Structures are given as C-alpha cells and as structure tokens.
Amino acid sequence: MVVSNAELHQDLRTAVGEICRRFPDSYWRELDAARAYPEAFVKTLTETGYLAALIPEDYGGSGLGLMEASVILEEINRAGGNAAACHAQMYIMGTLLRHGSDAQKREYLPKIASGELRLQAFGVTEPTTGTDTTQLKTMAVLHGDKYIVNGQKVWISRAEHSDLMLLIARTTPLDRVKKKTDGLSAFLVDLRTAVGKGVTIRPLRTMMNHATTEVFFDNLEVPTRNRIGEEGRGFRYLIDGLNAERILIAAECIGDGRWFIERACKYANERIVFNRPIGQNQGIQFPIARAHVSVESADLMRIKAAELFDARRPCGAEANMAKLLAADASWEAANVAVQTFGGYGFAEDYDIERKFRETRLYQVAPISTNLILSYLGEHVLGLPRSF
Ligand SMILES: Cc1cc2nc3c(=O)[nH]c(=O)nc-3n(C[C@H](O)[C@H](O)[C@H](O)COP(=O)(O)OP(=O)(O)OC[C@H]3O[C@@H](n4cnc5c(N)ncnc54)[C@H](O)[C@@H]3O)c2cc1C
C-alpha cells in the first residue's frame, strides 16, 4: 500500500517540483535577508490550485486527501523553499469545513480556494499562557448580535498577509466552567476591516523569515455570524485539527531532511580536501547515511499516520509520533549538513544556514517535542497524567 501510494503521488511531486523550480534558492535567500513574505510563491501556489488541495470540489477546491496535501508541502521544503509561508491555510480551513455552518462554508471556502481570500492566520498562543491553551485570557463577550474581543496574542504568523484569522478566545470565564477546556470559542475575524478598528498587528523579528506577529485586540467587534460552531466548544474544534497539522508539519520536516541530505551528499562528493572528496571519509559519510535512515524511517510513520487519517481512523498516536520523528530527523540532517559543509555551512550563499534556522522551529512549534512525549506517555502508554 505504501509503495503504490508513493507511485501514485509521483505525478503530484513532479508538478509541485516544477513550480518550485521557478523559485530557486536565490529567491528564498533574498526574502530571508529582507525578512519579506514570499508573495509571488504563495500567489502561484494558490493560482495553480495546490493550496486548495483539501477544500472539497463542491467549494472549488480539488478535494484531495491529507496524504496528497502533505506531499505538496513536503515537495516545497524538499526544493529548498519554506511551506510555512502558507501551510496554515491547509489545516485552519479544516475547522471551517468541519464545524462551520453551511452559510459560512458557502461564503468563504470558494473564495479561499480561488485565492480571493487568504485564511493564513491562526490566533491561539498568548504571552502569559504558552502551551496551556485552557488558560487563554483573550475574552469575547457577547453584546446583542456581536462579540466584543479584548486581549493579546503572540506568535501569530502571517497575520499581515492574511485576510482572515481563525481566533480562539474565551467566551465563558475559567472560574465559571465545569471543565477548563469548556468556554473557549472559535471565530473568523475579517482582518481587512478589523485592522485599525480593534486589531493592531506588530511584526516580531525572529531568527528565520516567518512573518510572525503580536496581535492586540481592543474592543474588536466580531459579528455572532462569524463564530464557528457552538459557543464554548472551541477547544474541541482545535483538538480536531491537531492530527492534520502534525502530519502536515511532519511532511515539511521530511522535505527539509531530504533537502539537507541531497545537498550534503553533493558537496561531500565534490569538495576535495587532502586530495580526495571529503565524502570518501567515513567520518563524513556515516553521519549522512545515519541521517538518511532517520528521515526515511520518520517518513514511514508519516505515511502511516496520513493513511489512517484519510481512512477516517484514529491516528492521534501516529500523527504525534510522525511529527516527533520527522522534526528530530530534519534537525539531525540539518546538523550533518552544516558539518559536511564546514565553514561554508555558515555562509548565506550556500543556503544551509537558512534552512538550518528554519527547520529548528519544528522542535518547538506548532507543538513542542515535550508536549508530544507527554501525550504519548499519558494517552498511549497509560502513564500518570502530569498536568
Ligand atoms: C516562529 C513561530 C511561529 C508561530 N506561529 C504561531 C501561530 O501562527 N499561531 C499560534 O497560535 N501560535 C504560533 N506559535 C506559537 C507556538 O505554537 C508556541 O511557541 C509553542 O506552542 C510553545 O509555546 P510557548 O512558546 O509559549 O512555550 P511554553 O508553553 O512557555 O513552553 C516553554 C518550554 O517549556 C516546555 N514545557 C511547557 N510545559 C511543559 C510540561 N508540562 N512538560 C514538559 N515541558 C513543558 C515546552 O515544551 C517548551 O519547550 C509560533 C511560535 C513560533 C516560535
């Protein structure tokens, strides 16, 4: 099954690879130096329909599975690009698709599929709550036919380049809910009208080019018709999307890992020191081979997780394991590539240092390795709950 799927996806890989070739290393390098958004790349990916892979055909998308979506993101990273510029649209859209009303889906999904609207921003994390989402302080208080939102978010990526934001805010204070996971709600915020009228976005400069921001809400008015699903069930909607997010991120890591290994092999074959290619030294060869093993093994778990997801079978354990293994494998491959390139691993012109910075993120975000281990310990292995 695994092999036949890989063959089936070859056409998709080739097509995405062709698009990526139009955006060579120099494109990403220059954007990185300027900390600029890959506008032309995202536009092309949207116009060619790849960003709408998961949107059903009835709403103008291509109705593909998560496996295919993951192949698209993997190929972007494998070609030396960074799918983080647009990956969130794939998994945020799922919340709208699964929990939105018919009217919301009819209004937004075709426009997202065509590229008329971008849904790239996901507003969850807050400065004082971090990973503990149940402690979110941003409040949305109902007044007639609208909610008034006040609070602050941090690390909200692509907010400056998105028309819509999926916002998670508290609608019932924590001390008035039975379970701490109750009382959070999901909203679709129209950033085109909200910025300057209750929303302020401040860019955050980070070690890689990620277009991430702080977002402040000051009496922002959100119409009740923009709430997704039932009031108070936002945490569950969030959880519903996590497996997809983890599998897609795992695929990006696999793409990064393969890119690092390809580059390391090429350099190790070409670079002559002591009158022989450095790759002839097993001290250089073995770490590359070991990183290859890590990436390929992680890919097996990613494929298993994606197949289970697409078959609508439980895949929480596999999605988490795939994300952990793939993030570790891409980081191992990144380190090996830097070592293989020696001093040039640090030179901007070789792109290794750029991708090294980019792939480091996946140990921390969108979910940190510790939290994955904690999930596996508690929910898969039956160990005591620690928080
Ligand atoms: C570049 C970037 C882009 C991001 N984009 C978005 C975005 O678009 N939208 C969004 O909502 N968020 C985004 N995030 C936020 C990201 O999801 C969080 O940074 C991440 O979930 C960790 O939260 P934190 O930074 O507050 O760390 P904290 O929760 O403060 O944790 C700090 C460290 O402690 C560890 N830790 C915490 N509790 C435990 C525990 N119980 N056991 C063991 N270890 C623990 C964590 O694993 C972590 O390593 C982004 C972050 C970055 C850096």
Q: State the distance from the centre of ligand 1 to the C-alpha of 367, rounded, in angstroms.
A: 6
At residue 192, does pLDDT exceed 60? Answer: yes
Does residue 370 line the site of ligand 1, with CB under 6 A? Answer: yes
Q: Which residue has 């960074």 as its token pair?
A: 82
Q: DSSP label at 211?
A: -
Question: Do the strands 272-273 and 276-277 form a parallel or antiparallel pair, or are they unpaired?
Answer: antiparallel
Q: DSSP label at 9?
A: T
Residues 9 and 59 in one domain: yes
Q: Is 180 within 8 Å of 330 (Cβ atoms)?
A: no
Residue 280 burial class via C-beta count within 10 angstroms: exposed 0-12, middle 13-18, buried 19 and up? middle
Confidence of residue 364 (pLDDT cuts 50, 70, 90): very high
Query: Could you give the number of structural domains in the chain?
Result: 3
At residue 324, does pLDDT exceed 50? Answer: yes
Residues 306 and 339 in one domain: yes
Does residue 350 line the site of ligand 1, with CB under 6 A? Answer: no
Residues 31 and 151 in one domain: no
Question: Do the strands 119-123 and 164-170 form a parallel or antiparallel pair, or are they unpaired?
Answer: parallel
**Does a structural domain hold residue 88?**
yes
Please give the pLDDT value at position 8: 65
Residues 266 and 366 in one domain: yes
In 3D space, the residue among 138, 134, 113 whose CA is nearest the CA of residue 123 turns out to be: 138
Q: State the distance from the centre of ligand 1 to the C-alpha of 1, rounded, in angstroms.
A: 36
| Tens digit of each residue's pLDDT (9 = 90 or more) over 257-288 | 999 999 999 999 999 999 999 999 999 999 99
Residue 319 to residue 238: CA distance in whole angstroms: 15
**119 — phi, psi (to 5°)?**
-115, 80
Does residue 335 line the site of ligand 1, with CB under 6 A? Answer: no
Q: Which residue has 């007044």 as its token pair?
A: 143
- Choosing from 114, 149, 172, the residue where a domain stops is 114
**Does a structural domain hold residue 301?**
yes
Which H or E run includes 325? helix 316-341
Does residue 368 line the site of ligand 1, with CB under 6 A? Answer: yes
Q: State the distance from the centre of ligand 1 to the C-alpha of 155, rounded, in angstroms.
A: 9
At residue 6, does pLDDT exceed 80? Answer: no
Residues 224 and 241 in one domain: no
| Tens digit of each residue's pLDDT (9 = 90 or more) over 45-68 | 999 999 999 999 999 999 999 999
Q: Which residue has 């081979």 as its token pair?
A: 289
**Does a structural domain hold residue 202?**
yes
Residues 65 and 178 in one domain: no
Task: Find the CATH number of the domain harbouring 267.
Answer: 1.20.140.10
| Tens digit of each residue's pLDDT (9 = 90 or more) over 71-92 | 999 999 999 999 999 999 998 9
**Does a structural domain hold residue 273?**
yes
Q: State the distance from the centre of ligand 1 to the C-alpha of 131, rounded, in angstroms.
A: 5
**Average pLDDT rounded to a whole number, residues 214-240:** 97
**Does a structural domain hold residue 385?**
no
**Helix/strand/coil for 204:** coil
Please give the pLDDT value at position 1: 46
How many Å separate Cα 73 from the centre of its chain?
Answer: 9
Please give the pLDDT value at position 5: 65
Residue 308 to residue 277: CA distance in whole angstroms: 44
Mutate to test the pocket of ligand 1, among 125, 184, 208 (most ligand atoms within 8 A of CB): 125
- Choosing from 174, 199, 230, the residue where a domain stops is 230
**Helix/strand/coil for 167:** strand
**214 — phi, psi (to 5°)?**
-105, 145
How much of the chain exceeds pLDDT 70, in percent? 98
Is the preceding omega at residue 366 within 30 degrees of 0, hence cis? yes
**Does a structural domain hold residue 45?**
yes
Residues 241 and 361 in one domain: yes
- Choosing from 72, 97, 114, the residue where a domain stops is 114
Q: State the distance from the centre of ligand 1 to the C-alpha of 363, rounded, in angstroms.
A: 10
Which H or E run includes 163? none
Which H or E run includes 187? strand 184-190
**Does a structural domain hold residue 274?**
yes
Q: How far apart are the first and last CA of the chain?
A: 39
Going by CA atoms, what residue is nearest to atom 44 of ligand 1?
Answer: 370
At residue 4, does pLDDT exceed 70? Answer: no
At residue 3, does pLDDT exceed 80? Answer: no
Does residue 152 line the site of ligand 1, with CB under 6 A? Answer: no
Residues 145 and 40 in one domain: no
| Tens digit of each residue's pLDDT (9 = 90 or more) over 134-182 | 999 999 999 999 999 999 999 999 999 999 999 999 999 999 999 999 9
Residue 132 burial class via C-beta count within 10 angstroms: exposed 0-12, middle 13-18, buried 19 and up? exposed
Q: State the distance from the centre of ligand 1 to the C-alpha of 303, rounded, in angstroms.
A: 26
Q: State the distance from the centre of ligand 1 to the C-alpha of 6, rounded, in angstroms.
A: 33
Residues 197 and 264 in one domain: no
Does residue 274 line the site of ligand 1, with CB under 6 A? Answer: no
Going by CA atoms, what residue is nearest to atom 19 of ligand 1?
Answer: 365
**Does a structural domain hold residue 386?**
no
List, in sequence order, the alpha helices (H) in 125-233.
Answer: 191-194
Q: State the distance from the centre of ligand 1 to the C-alpha of 289, rounded, in angstroms.
A: 31
The number of the ligand 1 atom at minimal distance from the alpha carbon of 210 is: 1
Task: Find the CATH number of the domain harbouring 71.
Answer: 1.10.540.10
**Average pLDDT rounded to a whole number, residues 338-359:** 98
Residue 232 to residue 168: CA distance in whole angstroms: 10
Quick one: tokens of 154? 């941090």
Residues 93 and 159 in one domain: no
| Orientation angle between helical segments 282-310 and 316-341, nearest 10 degrees | 160
Residues 205 and 311 in one domain: no
Residues 244 and 376 in one domain: yes
Instruction: Note down the domain range covering 298.
Output: 236-380
